[in-house]
Chain A
Amino acid sequence: QKEVEQDPGPLSVPEGAIVSLNCTYSNSAFQYFMWYRQYSRKGPELLMYTYSSGNKEDGRFTAQVDKSSKYISLFIRDSQPSDSATYLCAMTATGGFKTIFGAGTRLFVKA
């Protein structure tokens, strides 16, 4: 079993839809949870960052962490064609130096 599980998709939605992306994990030592966005032929870029359980909102993006269920989510409101990318969940444990990534979900937002 992988430490982090993420459905690779692809996920195709119409413009303006609410998108929900999810990851589950098995290591209870994970404390820091991130979402990275990767456009084609580019490096991943940090989108959202959360410590421990809770919600964090940034514009159209909301990240949720439920440590009791070992489940994290990223919601994108009013999705735009420019949101079309691969979204990778990532997490680290105290001790650091080793970020573990999910497989990434390919998202397509159709105009």
Chain B
Amino acid sequence: DTAVSQTPKYLVTQMGNDKSIKCEQNLGHDTMYWYKQDSKKFLKIMFSYNNKELIINETVPNRFSPKSPDKAHLNLHINSLELGDSAVYFCASSQDTGGLGDEKLFFGSGTQLSVL
């Protein structure tokens, strides 16, 4: 049973389209994240949600809108896709550490987004 699952695994689309990526975790964690990994494998945080509340928004363009309907789900909607959005997007979750910082992240298998 997959701990952090995200769909779809691959997403190929045209510039200007709108797309969504879904993420679900069954670990009972309170905190979920979206990370972006570029072609050079650099992994950068985009958003953090704790108990459905947005905690971190790392200067991501407004075209990216996360939504957490409940603690187990965090979706990412992207409007007006651009070539530069092509990357692998990872969802992750962790236990709530009360802001101590010792988060141990559990990652999904990633969504490879290709914008043509």
Chain A residues near B (Cβ < 8 Å):
8, 31-32, 34, 36, 38, 41-46, 49, 51, 86, 88, 90, 92-101, 103-104, 106
Contact = CB atoms under 8 A, between A and B. Distances in A.
A79 B104 CA distance: 25
Contact of A97 (B4, B40, B56, B108): B56
Given A43-B90, A104-B41, A104-B42, A99 B56 contact: no
Interface residues of B, number: 28
Contacts of A101: 42-44
A8 B103 CA distance: 24
Given A32-B101, A92-B101, A97-B50, 8 more contacts: A43-B90, A44-B43, A44-B90, A44-B107, A88-B41, A94-B100, A98-B48, A101-B44
B109 A43 contact: yes
Nearest to B112: A41
Contacts of B99: 94-97
Interface centre among B4, B42, B44, B50 (most CB of A within 10 A): B42
Contacts of A43: 4, 90, 92, 107-110
A81 to B, nearest CB: 20
Nearest to B107: A43
B31 interface: yes
A96 B109 contact: no
A42 B110 contact: yes
Given A43-B90, A43-B110, A93 B43 contact: no
Given A43-B4, A43-B108, A44-B105, A103 B100 contact: no
**Interface-central residue, A44, A46, A95, by most chain B CB under 10 Å:** A44
Contacts of A42: 109-110
